[in-house]
Amino acid sequence: MNVTVLAGGVGGAKLAHGFALCQPEIDLTVIVNTGDDFDHFGLKICPDLDTVCYTLAGLANPETGWGRKDETFEAMRQIGELGGPIWFRLGDKDLATHLERTRRLKEGQRLTEVVAAFCRAWGIKARVLPMSDDSVRTMVKTREYGWMGFQEYFVRQACAPTVEEFAFEGIDHALPADGVVEALESSHLIVIAPSNPWVSIQPILSIKGVASLILSQKAVAVSPIIQGQTIKGPAAKMYREMGIEPSPLAIVRHYGDLLWGIVIDELDRNFEAMIVSSGIMTLSTQTIMRNEQDRFRLAKEILAFYKDFNPNHQPGREF
């Protein structure tokens, strides 16, 4: 059974890890947002890819949601002494990832190849794909500062500015990375992880051909909104600033025709009837992933949800 997860950073990485723990029963592909990627100190930094890979490899820092566990910050401290920018915290181990990725890209390897090599080195069994080998740059228009790069907004400004609009520079010319179309076409189950719909999932859906493939296959989304809030990140704040009340319903409306189902938190069970009446299958369960067991259980429940409800399920096509 082929499962493809569309993921941004932390929430996406956790759910992808849950599905990875279901291997080899399933064949897992994770398509990761690269709109957050940026150049810093001459290095190519891919925050979401790294969070997903570190999480799948068991190397992630569980406290921070970014970077590696057992990390040291010698380089960053010295950069500070030289008066350099320290708003984007690069650990010494984490630096190795950016250094070696940059070296390989300069050597002519595609990002997809680099990620595949890193996954092999880290013992990751899942197929991790960047959404594209082409450069896409998520831009956030804020009331206070106008347009800014995503990391400037997200890390440097700590998401404080009020968002007005999003843009994905380069998206018109970005092709899906090798394997993305194949993964979506051959997927039994496509899962939109509980990542930020505006800036983590939307870039992936905006890559040429991706949304139409999902439209024909249909996906299940896991709501990143729980009781009007997010576990991490600015998705709820963004919905409000865009004039939308953040709720599982907002997520359903956001993804619209792409969905056959949605997984909402049991705390939001009151939305269930309204969503079901709009023709979207709904699973309400505990969606907060506090530990590895939670990740595994949620993935298992989504697999069961799919087997029970999805019209495309083989064999038998229950619907």
- Positions in the binding site for its own copies (CB under 8 A): 40-44, 72, 74-79, 81-85, 91-93, 95-97, 99-100, 102-104, 106, 117-118, 121
Q: Which is nearer to its own copies, 152 or 265 (CB)?
A: 152
- Our CB check for its own copies shows the closer of 110 and 208 to be 110
Of the pair 39, 308, the CB lying nearest its own copies is at: 39
User: What secondary structure letter does DSSP report for 176?
Assistant: B
Residues 152 and 107: their CA atoms lie apart, in Å, by 28
**3-state DSSP call for residue 145?**
coil
CB of 74 to its own copies, least distance (A): 4
CB of 75 vs its own copies, minimal distance in Å: 4
Q: DSSP letter string over 22-47? A: TTTTSEEEEEE--TT-EEETTEEE-H
Residue 139, classed as helix, strand or coil, is strand
H-only helix segments in the chain? 10-20, 47-57, 74-81, 92-107, 111-121, 150-151, 180-186, 202-206, 210-217, 235-241, 248-255, 272-277, 292-309
Q: How far is the CB of 242 from its own copies (least distance, A)?
A: 34
Shortest CB 42 distance to its own copies, Å: 4
Identify which of residues 68 and 218 has a Cβ nearer to its own copies in the complex. Answer: 68
For residues 106 and 269, which CB has a smaller minimum distance to its own copies in the complex?
106
DSSP string covering 91-107: -HHHHHHHHHHHHHHHH
Minimum CB separation of residue 202 from its own copies in Å reads 29
Cβ nearer to its own copies, comparing 103 with 125: 103
To its own copies, the closest distance from the beta carbon of 92 in angstroms equals 4
Helix axes 292-309, 10-20, angle to 10 degrees: 70
